[in-house]
Structures are given as structure tokens and as C-alpha cells.
């Protein structure tokens, strides 16, 4: 088996690469076909995913059986200011990969987001619920999903949320750094979702890769919380002497992009197909903090 991973230097791409090298994740052994696969990781300096001809030339030479695409423009506020770039990276790149995967018969695993939903509800969102994004980031990621559905017949669109991993920038590292430096933090408590450990997400992506259970998936940590709850758990789990105060979103300096107030996802498709082994968000965070704090 040959596997191509885009965004291989990002927090999810690098996590996938590490798990394949080790042959296992924190959740257990990965499929043998994955552990023994020929894996190629690429990033922005290796290939311009927004250029169809370049994508076609590169993938045609490699001829992968599976392409995993975590690459994205994820700066939510910057997407509002750079809409063409957001569309090229989040939508056209997905289209290009889908077209070429279909031409060679490869499976495509594409990472999407909870931001494709409006955040107006109050119950966990299922895969069949209708997307209605309120930000450019969410709109361009949804456009990418639609391109994939149109051009690929062997796709897994996997929506995740509040992702953090051992490599790269994320909310956990940001809170840890700020807590140590400031000793007092204010964090919103009126936005709710699912913290997701990249280790858990990567494990499930690799489970899907050896199947033909195509479709749209939600893949997030079990349980939900507010950003305040998440931040408080990070500070307490890191034994940092810092007070964490809850505030409402209207008290924040206005940001360019609107955030969903409620974007908790339900992993229904996982439960009904390959099985949902995602950890409770508190348990996954505890393991993560124990590792990073003992390095």
C-alpha cells in the first residue's frame, strides 16, 4: 500500500506520520497494511495543492492507494481578510486532489471542521444535519466537501473540532504558555464543543483507510465543554498557578470571524461502521498533559 499525506508538518499530519512509524497509537495497534505501507509526507514547499496540473503530475508519478489531506488554511480570522487564499487552499485544493484521486482510483481521506455548521443548536450535530457556515473559513471548508462529493467516489470526509496535538500551535499550548506568563486568564464560557486529541483522530483515520466505508464522518473527543472548561482543565492538569475566569463572548475584543456558539458533534457514522474508540476529552487531555509536562 502507498499512502500520501499532505500537510505532513502540521499537527495532524505529523501525528499520522508518527503513528505509522511506530505501528501503533495511544489507542492501540494500527492495521498491518498501514504499518507496512510506503508512506510519503509532503507540505507546502513540496507541492502547490491549489494547482491542478501540479497535483496531477505529482500524484500520477507516486500512484498512491490512499491520500490523506489534513492540509488547510485554518486561521479563522485571516480567512475573512484573505478570502481568495482561503478558497484556493480549503476548496480548490480539495477539488484538485479529489479529481486526481478519482482518475487513479485512490481513496481520499479529507479533514473538515465543525465550522461548517452555524452553531445555533443545542444538541450534538449528526452527519446528516444540514451545514450552514457563518464564517469564510467554514464556507470554504464546506465548498471543499462539496467538490469532493462531486469529483470522488471513494471519499471519507472527516469533520473534527477543537484539535490539539503534540506538534504545532494549538489551544492547549497557548493556554499553558499564557497561564505561566500571566497568572490570570479570562476565557469564554458561552461557546461549546468537543476538544479532540490529534492522536485519537489520526488513529481513526488510519482505521478508515483500510475499509470501503465511504461517506461523511464526525470524529471528536467524547463529551463537550466550553472553552472556559477546557482552559481550566489544561491549567489544573498542568499544575500551573493561574486563576481562570469565565466571561461571555460579547466581552471580547471583536474578531473578524464569527464563531459557532454550539458545535458539538456526534460521532454517529463511526459508531455505525468501524466503531467509535475516541476517548473522553478529559481522559485524552490528561494523557496529553502528562506527556508534554514530563518531556
Query: Taking a C-beta distance cutoff of 8 angstroms, is the pair 163, 15 a contact?
Result: no
28 vs 112: CA distance, rounded Å? 24
E-state strands within 166-207: 184-188, 192-193, 196-197
| Strand 24-25 versus strand 163-164 pairing type | unpaired
Whether residue 217 lies in the annotated active site: no
Q: Quick one: how far is CA 108 from the chain centroid?
A: 15
Backbone angles phi, psi at 257, to 5 degrees: -105, 140
| Alpha carbon 200 to its chain's center | 11
How far from the centroid of its chain's Cα atoms is residue 45's Cα?
21
d(CA 208, CA 196): 18
Exactly one of 58, 73, 115, 137 is catalytic; name it: 137
Residue numbers annotated as active site: 137
Amino acid at each position: 500500500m502507498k499512502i500520501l499525506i499532505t500537510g505532513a508538518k502540521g499537527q495532524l499530519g505529523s501525528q499520522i506520520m508518527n503513528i505509522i512509524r511506530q505501528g501503533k497509537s495511544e489507542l492501540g495497534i494500527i492495521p498491518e497494511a498501514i504499518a507496512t505501507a510506503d508512506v510519503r509526507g509532503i507540505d507546502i514547499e513540496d507541492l502547490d495543492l491549489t494547482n491542478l496540473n501540479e497535483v496531477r503530475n505529482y500524484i500520477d508519478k507516486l500512484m498512491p492507494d490512499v491520500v490523506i489531506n489534513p492540509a488547510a488554511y485554518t486561521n479563522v480570522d485571516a480567512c475573512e481578510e484573505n478570502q481568495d487564499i482561503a478558497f484556493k487552499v480549503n476548496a480548490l485544493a480539495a477539488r484538485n486532489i479529489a479529481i486526481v484521486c478519482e482518475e487513479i482510483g485512490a481513496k481520499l481521506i479529507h479533514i473538515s471542521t465543525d465550522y461548517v455548521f452555524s452553531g445555533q443548536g443545542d444538541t450534538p450535530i449528526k452527519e446528516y444535519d444540514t451545514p450552514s457556515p457563518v464564517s469564510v473559513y467554514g464556507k470554504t471548508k464546506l465548498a471543499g466537501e462539496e467538490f469532493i462529493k462531486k469529483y470522488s467516489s471513494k471519499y471519507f470526509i472527516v469533520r473534527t473540532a477543537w484539535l490539539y496535538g503534540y506538534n504545532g500551535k494549538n489551544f492547549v499550548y497557548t493556554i499553558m504558555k499564557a497561564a505561566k506568563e500571566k497568572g490570570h486568564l479570562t476565557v469564554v464560557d458561552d461557546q461549546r464543543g468537543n476538544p479532540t486529541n490529534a492522536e485519537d483522530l489520526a488513529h481513526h483515520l488510519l482505521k478508515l483507510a483500510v475499509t470501503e466505508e465511504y461517506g461523511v464522518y464526525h470524529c471528536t473527543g467524547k463529551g463537550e465543554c466550553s472553552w472556559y472548561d477546557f482552559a481550566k482543565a489544561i491549567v489544573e492538569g498542568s499544575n500551573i498557578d493561574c486563576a481562570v475566569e469565565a466571561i461571555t463572548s460579547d466581552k471580547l475584543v471583536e474578531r473578524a470571524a464569527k464563531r459557532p456558539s454550539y458545535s458539538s458533534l456526534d460521532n454517529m457514522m463511526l459508531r455505525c461502521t468501524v466503531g467509535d474508540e475516541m476517548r473522553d476529552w478529559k481522559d485524552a487531555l490528561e494523557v496529553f498533559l502528562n506527556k508534554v509536562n514530563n518531556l
